[in-house]
Amino acid sequence: MDNLLALYNSWCGKKPAKIEKLPQSGSNRVYYRLIDETGKSVIGVIGESKEENQAFIYLCRHFTHQKLAVPELLAVGDDGLRYLQSDLGCRSLYDALAEGRSAGGRYTREERQLLKRTISELPRIQIWGAVALDYNQCYPQPEFDKKGVLFDLNYFKYCFLKATGIDFNELKLEANFELIATDLLSVDSLGFLYRDFQARNVMLNAQGNPYFIDFQGGRKGPIYYDLASFLWQASAHYSTELREELIKVYFDSLKHYKEVPDFRVFNDTLQLFVLFRILQVLGAYGFRGYFEHKSHFIESIPGAMDNLRELLSKNKFPYPYLVSILKRMLALPQFAPKEEEEAAARKDGYRISASNIYKAYPQDGPATYSKYDGRGPLIVKVYSFAYSKGIPEDDSGNGGGYVFDCRSTHNPGRYEPYKDITGLDEPVIRFLEDDGEILTFLDSIYRLADMHVARYLQRGFTSLMFAFGCTGGQHRSVYSAQHLAEHLNKKFGVEVRVCHREQQINRILPAHTIKE
């Protein structure tokens, strides 16, 4: 630490007024925020590996020369173990996506825009960053090679597959591993392979523009690897629709930097790297979870298995023995999907099912998606109104929703004691519930509304409208609207906005997490 402070003093001519140690990352480097008396800060780094530090320093200077969005290198210690870089702030892409991630992949429009902005910048560092780059400066190796591929595949075999207890023929499996390595290395779309391209390694400035950090493990390699690594990260819970959208964003951006193959060819190649990346990740999860007994990695396995299950269902890979082993592995009880969770949205009202909600016959081909899919979160609007004053207008642009006529039920407004109160008041509530007609009426509406809300949550839609009309918009419609609103908010945890139009009453029942 003394040497880092000496480097800071040499760089700016004074000691920092304040020092903050930053949370430890996955590497052995230690980061500090060094702040002067004016509040201006830089990041000080202490690393144990001189070779790793040298790789970062070289790449950072090279990328800065190429005008890429990376931190500025300010000063380097004589021992090569300490350096100063510009402070990119405290907000990473991972932090910015926290709500969508915790909601099981229900990313808002703003969060999706951040993802698109980030993924569209990836080709810039992969292609422009590779121009005149001396890969011999990379650490721990200069390029993506067969030895590394086979190491990762065997890491999966020994640290994950064997731990499941599945019996398999090692020679047949090794033969398929050799084929995968050959196919991965035959790809000619080479550039700077970031290697650790993930949301934690993307910082966002005040304008939401992405900056890239922790690229010191990069090397020469196929550009598909980083895209697969980012989009199939298990904990991110990206929906199929969102992945497809981000792949297209990346592909369109890549065309500005190099000639690209037909999109279908591009996507087929990408799926091979997705398979490799999932196996690589499962190897890491197996070692950290099964052997080091770290619960976080055990908890991450189901997400990776879901990704693998979906990948194998949509692609035919030319590695029959490996595929047969993977399918046997997926069929094990501990990895079997929870059908009830895939069939419907979670109770908290925020998660999109990991499965494809559009069940089609094979001859129909893949389902298409509307522009409203996956945007979320859902907001339900419930109105009460008087028919004499017209049905409430929809302000979402979706054309409205359900309208229910309450006029067939017994009307409290026909009796003097209830003329000046509404369906929110206890006497009216007691009248309606003692009579019972309104309860039978609402029971069928609850079943219909529950089915509809669950489907909208599954598809990631943002708006659903219910309206209840009666003669004066005062008693039956007010009671029905209020009770449906409270029912949906309680059951699904969605935000519900209630408008009793004729009473000029507006209320919001906020979204919340449902306790299991």
CATH of the domain at 291: 3.90.1200.10
Distance CA 308, CA 312 (A): 6
Same domain, 165 and 224: yes
The token pair that represents 109 in the structure block: 């429009």
**pLDDT at res. 345:** 39
Closest CA to 479 of 428, 516, 408, 514: 428
For 62-90, what is the mean pLDDT? Answer: 96
Burial class of 273 by CB neighbour count within 10 A (0 to 12, 13 to 18, 19+): buried
As beta bridge partners, residue 222 has 190
Average pLDDT, the chain: 90
Most confident listed range (96-110, 153-167, 446-460): 153-167
Most confident listed range (18-27, 43-52, 394-403): 43-52
Distance CA 390, CA 317 (A): 59
The token pair that represents 73 in the structure block: 């290198």
> Residues for the chain: how many in total?
516
Judge whether 195 lies within some domain: yes
**pLDDT at res. 377:** 85
Same domain, 307 and 388: no
Same domain, 187 and 234: yes
65 neighbors 210 (Cβ within 8 angstroms):
no
Residue 352 above 50 pLDDT?
no
426-435 and 437-459 helices, crossing angle to 10°:
100
Domain termination residue (choose one: 335, 350, 367): 335
Residue with tokens 């193959």: 261
Judge whether 123 lies within some domain: yes
125 neighbors 212 (Cβ within 8 angstroms):
yes
Question: What single-letter DSSP state applies at residue 363?
Answer: G
| Amino acid, res. 154 | N
3-class state of residue 204 by DSSP: strand
Most confident listed range (103-107, 152-156, 365-369): 152-156
Distance CA 60, CA 138 (A): 12
Same domain, 278 and 387: no
More confident residue, 355 or 112: 112
Same domain, 69 and 103: no
Same domain, 123 and 46: no
The token pair that represents 421 in the structure block: 């109160």
193 neighbors 223 (Cβ within 8 angstroms):
yes
Summarize pLDDT for 280-321 with one digit per residue, the tens.
999 999 998 888 888 888 888 999 999 999 999 999 999 999
Domain encompassing residue 452: 379-509
Number of domains in the chain: 3
Distance CA 478, CA 384 (A): 5
Residue 347 above 60 pLDDT?
no
Judge whether 356 lies within some domain: no
The token pair that represents 35 in the structure block: 């702040």
Closest CA to 452 of 387, 402, 489: 402
Burial class of 316 by CB neighbour count within 10 A (0 to 12, 13 to 18, 19+): exposed
Name the band, by pLDDT with cuts 50, 70 and 90, for residue 340. Answer: very low
Distance CA 443, CA 227 (A): 48
The gap from C-alpha 127 to its chain's centroid, in whole angstroms, comes to 26
For 22-50, what is the mean pLDDT? Answer: 89
Distance CA 325, CA 166 (A): 8
The token pair that represents 304 in the structure block: 């990776």
Judge whether 358 lies within some domain: no
Q: The domain that contains 37 carries what CATH number?
A: 3.30.200.20
Judge whether 362 lies within some domain: no
Judge whether 343 lies within some domain: no
Same domain, 328 and 392: no
Domain termination residue (choose one: 280, 304, 335): 335
Which range, of 120-124, 221-225, 335-339, averages the lowest pLDDT? 335-339
Summarize pLDDT for 456-515 with one digit per residue, the tens.
888 788 899 999 999 999 999 999 999 999 999 999 999 999 999 999 999 999 988 876
Judge whether 354 lies within some domain: no
Same domain, 383 and 324: no
Same domain, 239 and 265: yes
Same domain, 106 and 147: yes
Judge whether 247 lies within some domain: yes
**pLDDT at res. 400:** 81
Beta strands in 300-456 (DSSP E): 379-386, 402-405
Q: 121 to each of 95, 105, 484, how far by Cα in Å?
A: 19, 22, 46
Q: What are phi and psi of 163, to 5 degrees?
A: -70, -20
Same domain, 128 and 162: yes
Please give the span between the terminal C-alpha atoms of the chain, in angstroms, as a whole number: 47
Same domain, 117 and 76: no
Distance CA 25, CA 373 (A): 35
476-492 and 426-435 helices, crossing angle to 10°:
90
Domain termination residue (choose one: 86, 102, 128): 86
